[in-house]
Amino acid sequence: MKLLLVCTGNTCRSPMAEALVRKRLPQVEVQSAGIFAHDGSPASHQAVTVMQEAGVLFNHQSKPATKERVDWADLILTMTEQHKQLLLEQYPHAAGKLYTLPEYASQEAAASWKSLQEAYADLETKRVRFASSYQGDPDRFQSEFMQSHQREIQHIQELEAGMPAADIMDPFGRSVEVYRNTLKELEFYVDKLAEKIHNEK
């Protein structure tokens, strides 16, 4: 498997994740890149510090997320939903292999997202049905629909509130302690990713 990890500048999150994947999944070919990265910038000082504390080999220079790298990868995992959307806009052909790291690695996230999509679809079906038989004031349609479907809307709100975080926290420009928290988050999802890859063999 060829894995590409993507963040903004490729100096913090994605190279930290790359180093963790190299250690945890040596059989996976892995690269990292940044949507707005330049070639050759060093990893942030705080990232180097926390990776050394964790005993993870970390020697990195930034690279941009080019078409060549996107095409090289079998799987692309971004650090945030926004990164994913930006890549989809630039490289729509990559849609089938592009996810956020939490979305792909976490079974709970996948199950929650499926439930939420089903709830959205159910509400939309009911909205269309309600609209086809609605005889009232068009200006009041939305409020009357919401009033008569409060239970479904509340269910969606509860599902949204319970969704796992889709984004890995950006520590850029912040303290070493924030970087340590980001590292813990990355370790959690890389462990989940390793479990998923081993289970799919």
33, 65 Cβ separation under 8 angstroms: yes
Q: Which helix H or strand E contains 78, and what residues bound it?
A: strand 75-78
Structure tokens at 72: 């090289």
> Is pLDDT of 164 > 70?
no
Task: Compute φ and ψ for 62, nearest 5 degrees.
Answer: -70, 155
- The CA distance from 13 to 16, in Å, is 5
List of residues 6+ apart from 188 with CB closer than 8 A: none
**Mean pLDDT of all residues in 119-148:** 88
Percent of the chain with pLDDT over 90: 72
Helix (H) or strand (E) holding 4: strand 2-7
Per the CB < 8 A criterion, the answer to whether 106 and 164 are in contact is: yes
Q: Which of 57-61, 66-70, 157-161 has the highest mean pLDDT?
A: 66-70
Predicted confidence (pLDDT) at residue 160 exceeds the cutoff of 80: no
What's the DSSP call for residue 82? H
Delimit the CATH 3.40.50.2300 region(s) of the chain: 2-106+166-199
CA distance 91 to 67: 7
108, pLDDT greater than 70: no
CATH architecture of 2-106+166-199: 3-Layer(aba) Sandwich (3.40)
Active site residues: 7, 13
| pLDDT of the residue at 57 | 87
